[in-house]
Amino acid sequence: MRRNVKIRFVGHGEACCYFLKLGPMEEIHPREREFRGGDEVEVILTQRPEKPDAVDITFVDGDYAFEVPTEFFIVLPK
C-alpha cells in the first residue's frame, strides 16, 4: 500500500540523528540523507508485506530509501 503523508522523525534536535541510505541498493557508496529528531518531511510511504516494521520512503525530489524502520518516525495527521 502506498500513501502520501507528512512524517516527523522522533526525538529532539541534536540529541537524535538519522541517516537514511538512498537507493539504488547496488551502489558501492550510497548517498545518505540526514534528519534530526523533530524534522518534518512530505513523503510517499510504501508498506512492505514481508517486513511489517519497515517501509520504503520516496521523497518529493524522487530520492528513495528502502526498509526504513517505522520506529524512526511518526505519521502526522492531515
**Scanning the structure block, which residue is given the C-alpha cell 548517498?**
31
Digit-coded pLDDT (tens) for 4-61 = 999 999 998 777 899 999 988 777 888 999 999 999 999 999 998 899 999 999 999 9
Residue of 33, 71, 24 whose CA lies nearest to 52: 71
Could you tell me which residues are beta bridge partners of residue 43? 5, 59
* Residue 78 per-residue DSSP state: -
At residue 15, the pLDDT reads: 78
Beta-bridge partners for 38: none
